[in-house]
Amino acid sequence: MAMDLSQYPLSKLADQIGTPFYLYDGGILRDNFKRLGALTEGPNLQARYAMKANSSRKVLEMAREAGSWIDAVSGNEVLRAGRAGFAFGDQPPVIMFTADVFRDNALTTVLEHQVLPNVGSPGMIRDLRDAGYRGPIAVRLNPGFGHGHTQSCDTGGPSSKHGIWHEDSDQLRALAKQAGLPIVSLHCHVGTGPELREFDTNMRKLVDFFVDVLPAFPDATSVNLGGGLPHPYRPGKPAYDLAWYRPVLLDAVERLGRIKGRPIRVEIEPGRYAVAGMAALVCRVHDIKTTRDNAKGRGNSFIMVDAGFNDLIRPAMYGSYHHISILGAGAGRPPEPLVVAGPLCESGDVFTRDDHELLDPRPLPRPDVGDLLVLHDAGAYGAAMSSNYVSMGRVPQVFWENGTATLIARRETLDDIVRAECDEPLT
């Protein structure tokens, strides 16, 4: 289900809390988690929400209420999951910590809360051993294949820094054995946001891969197929139908259980699927200006808005498409090619781009100054990847449910931004 903008009092909210802001639709979020719950219904199936996609407390609470577990990728993500009510400990491993490097408080958090570490680099086994960890581990393998929506979101194959190369699993087992750490889970995540049937093909290949490698891991009780379920960002693109995935998961439970002679839990780890479509970034049109054709290139018309890549970095970083709506006097005008650009002093601060060209003018109605402009499908890797570049505060998040709006994160202030600054002599 996509957001229907006519349902929300956007203009009133914009007047009340200012622009830009994120709007989250709790009904859509709840439905998405419910669908993931149904996908993993039954014995030996478990969904983990990859909280990196959106770690807002409200989102985590809904994931928990729907029965999802958590994939966390930093010490603080583990602690945020704990604050949202997810259980620590590895019996069962409700929170898993996945990484290729321990930094900050990650190692101490794993030790303190007995959270299952999912090791993506052999050196992490040494780090765990040296820190005195004596519990179970999961290992992330790179099975040699995969694909994502861009090269930088492809996490399987020789170009990927993630996981431990599948042909090195003998050394990996020896290292874990030496360290006294039983490998209880095998994990692969091979890419985020591929095409629909490509996703199914890769998941089936992954199940075959696990069927091949699992016998060599005597202590394994689960496998994890990672996330990567596609989201339809472009209008007219079909949504991913989970009915394609369910048989793959049931087949995995059956085959893996059979080769081990005991139940093997099959986990999935979606992030984007749960949250992408439940949010919009709402900003205001401040100006419209044009450049003209000359020897260097074609002229463009720019809609200047108050949101920038500090708020939503996906277009600038990957050339990602986010659908755009205009609300206000301009909304009904015939479309013309327009570029939507933000306030940052960077020419790449443009929301209408593709991954080859800097600008990709979009057919849009010409708005009036003061109209609202909405960037759709911004719930995954939106607020989560926002920053306070140029000391602009991160924007508020509004949660909409049952006709009521709740502010769940306020706009960051100057004091928030400079809070960590200090002047401490180091000896």
Q: Minimum distance between the CB of residue 345 and ligand LLP, rounded to whole angstroms?
A: 23
Q: How far is the CB of 122 from ligand LLP (least distance, A)?
A: 17
Q: How many CA atoms lie within 13 A of 348 on its CB side?
A: 15
- Shortest gap between Cβ of 53 and ligand LLP (angstroms)? 5
* Contact status: 353 vs ligand LLP (CB under 6 A): no
Residue 80 interacting with ligand LLP (CB under 6 A): no
- Residue 349 contacts ligand LLP per CB under 6 A: no
Task: For residues 9 and 261, give the distance between their C-alpha atoms in angstroms, rounded to a whole number.
Answer: 56
Distance CA 307, CA 309 (A): 7
Task: Please identify, using beta-carbon distances, which residue of 8 and 24 lies nearer to ligand LLP.
Answer: 24
Binding to ligand LLP (CB under 6 A) within 371-410 occurs at: 380-381
| Binding of residue 81 to ligand LLP (CB under 6 A) | no
Q: Do the strands 279-290 and 301-305 form a parallel or antiparallel pair, or are they unpaired?
A: antiparallel
Per-residue contact track with ligand LLP, 295 to 314, x per CB under 6 A? Answer: -------------------x
Nearer to ligand LLP, 269 or 371 (CB): 269
Can you tell me which of 75, 228, 365, 367 binds ligand LLP, judged by CB under 6 A?
Answer: 228
CA 180, CA 334: separation in Å to the nearest integer?
68
Calculate the alpha carbon distances from 129 to 100, 121, 179, 218 in Å: 16, 14, 6, 20
Instruction: Report the candidate in 253, 278, 263 with the shortest Cα–Cα distance to residue 41.
Output: 253
**Candidate list 93, 226, 379, 396; residue touching ligand LLP; CB under 6 A:** 226
Residue 153: active-site member: no
CA gap 192, 229 in Å, rounded: 7
Residue 249 touches ligand LLP, criterion: CB under 6 A? no
Candidates 58, 147, 265, 272; binder of ligand LLP (CB under 6 A) is: 272
Q: Which of 53, 84 has the CB closer to ligand LLP?
A: 53
**Other C-beta atoms lying within 10 Å of the C-beta of residue 221:** 18
Q: Does 279 bind ligand LLP (CB under 6 A)?
A: no
Nearer to ligand LLP by C-beta: 93 or 193? 193
Q: Assess 96 for contact with ligand LLP (CB under 6 A).
A: no
The single residue of 153, 188, 345, 422 carrying the catalytic annotation is 345
Q: How far is the CB of 191 from ligand LLP (least distance, A)?
A: 8
Of 34 and 286, the one with the shorter C-beta distance to ligand LLP is: 34
d(C-alpha 81, C-alpha 40), whole Å: 21
Least CB distance to ligand LLP at residue 77 (A) = 12
Shortest approach of ligand LLP to residue 167 CB, angstroms? Answer: 21
Site for ligand LLP contains 194 (CB under 6 A): no
Angle (CA) 205 210 214, round 5°: 165
Note the residues at the interface with ligand LLP (CB under 6 A): 50, 53, 71, 98, 153, 189, 192-193, 226-229, 269-273, 314, 380-381
Residues known to be catalytic: 345
